[in-house]
Structure 1
């Protein structure tokens, strides 16, 4: 059994409005007999000593055996979720993932974390479509900056990124592990859900 990563907390952001899923909570969609969020939780339980879920509707997730925290700032945005995770984490780093992605792998998490270098406070994958801030690692050194950005009304995660402090994972490295870049696919619509199930069935998961 591989050792857990002790200096990083696995964080799942579950604060979306589910507006394109007709009100269905995306985190609880069934994939291979478990919910999407449980799938990511199982991965994080194996990899990290500590796991957090950030949700503004914790009552929907009470069956999960995990610590659930809510946003401190009232703005419904991913940056508020990251801020809350940085506030509640007691490890130097957090690794952030969304609740609606069934394709995240241990290899991808390890790839991102392997790019941490001295002086870097964020490690984020980059593809031809841009940066992927919801499959990224954030140092707790970003806590104060995240608080400042939210107070200023700057709600994009990218407002945290600073050239000398942000390390990017190149697409070529990512494609060695995930040739089709499925890692960054999110279930936003019923059609997305059916596509994800088809891909998982193709992989022998469902």
Structure 2
């Protein structure tokens, strides 16, 4: 790169939080509205995403819990009307409603999402990429902390028509660009981004983790 060159400008990208529906293992609670570290997980995620994306979508199967919060909210509520309970239907809904070609997808129970990882994913994204996602040290990929192109839609639609809800199943039909492990670890050495809460016990552990991280939390 010559002295006159500059890094490519990140492509416009929407962020979508998959809020799903009531969490049975949480006693029917709406996970996005649970508090961790004094704020709801939704508010924490929105604060992390704000300023980095063209728009923030909140994708929900049961939007009633969020409708009273819409006035003045920095997110747009969209309904995932598919009866199947699957993150893949949420990805489909986000892609259909997005106003940009690419959409970053995150689950609603990940308050430790690291800004540095967002920056790394956006920097890695190229116009021709259909999926950009982190590769973990164990070799697995994380499809719920990933960027998807609207070009994925026909493949997702065909897969849903077969009632196949495994997210990565269509990846061999599109252009996938993994974020290298070393880049992931440079952005999030302890892999805090991927810590979530599916049970009350995991929620309590997450709360304790957040409390222990408060002095060192990123505020960029």
Q: Is it true that 1:18 corresponds to 2:23 in the alignment?
A: yes
Find the counterpart in structure 1 of residue 92 from structure 2.
Answer: 83
Given the superposition, is the C-alpha separation of residues 96 and 180 from structure 1 closer, same or farther in structure 2, using an over 3 Å criterion? same
Q: Distance in 2 between matches of 1:130 and 1:48?
A: 26
Given the superposition, is the C-alpha separation of residues 74 and 158 from structure 1 closer, same or farther in structure 2, using an over 3 Å criterion? same
Given the superposition, is the C-alpha separation of residues 186 and 16 from structure 1 closer, same or farther in structure 2, using an over 3 Å criterion? farther
Q: Is it true that 1:36 corresponds to 2:29 in the alignment?
A: no
1:45 deviation in Å? 2.1
* Bigger Cα Rg: 2
Q: Distance in 2 between matches of 1:119 and 1:32?
A: 39
Q: Distance in 2 between matches of 1:196 and 1:182?
A: 10
The answer (yes or no) to whether the contact 1:93–1:137 under 8 Å persists in 2 is yes
User: Is 141-150 or 85-94 further displaced after alignment?
Assistant: 141-150
Find the counterpart in structure 1 of residue 107 from structure 2.
Answer: 98
The answer (yes or no) to whether the contact 2:134–2:141 under 8 Å persists in 1 is yes
TM-score when scaled to structure 2?
0.85
Q: Is it true that 1:138 corresponds to 2:148 in the alignment?
A: yes
Q: Is it true that 1:185 corresponds to 2:190 in the alignment?
A: no
Q: Is it true that 1:7 corresponds to 2:31 in the alignment?
A: no
Instruction: Give secondary structure in 2 for the equivalent of 1:188.
Output: coil
Find the counterpart in structure 2 of residue 111 from structure 1.
Answer: 120
1:118 deviation in Å? 5.0
Q: Is it true that 1:73 corresponds to 2:78 in the alignment?
A: no
Aligned residues: 203
CA RMSD, 1 decimal: 2.0
Find the counterpart in structure 1 of residue 133 from structure 2.
Answer: 124
Runs (4+) off by over 3 Å: none
Given the superposition, is the C-alpha separation of residues 5 and 40 from structure 1 closer, same or farther in structure 2, using an over 3 Å criterion? farther
Q: Distance in 2 between matches of 1:122 and 1:48?
A: 17
1:164 deviation in Å? 6.3
Consecutive unaligned residues in structure 2, runs of 5 or more = 1-8
State how 1:43-82 maps to structure 2 within 5 Å: 43-62=48-67, 63-64=69-70, 65=73, 66-82=75-91
Q: Distance in 2 between matches of 1:173 and 1:45?
A: 22
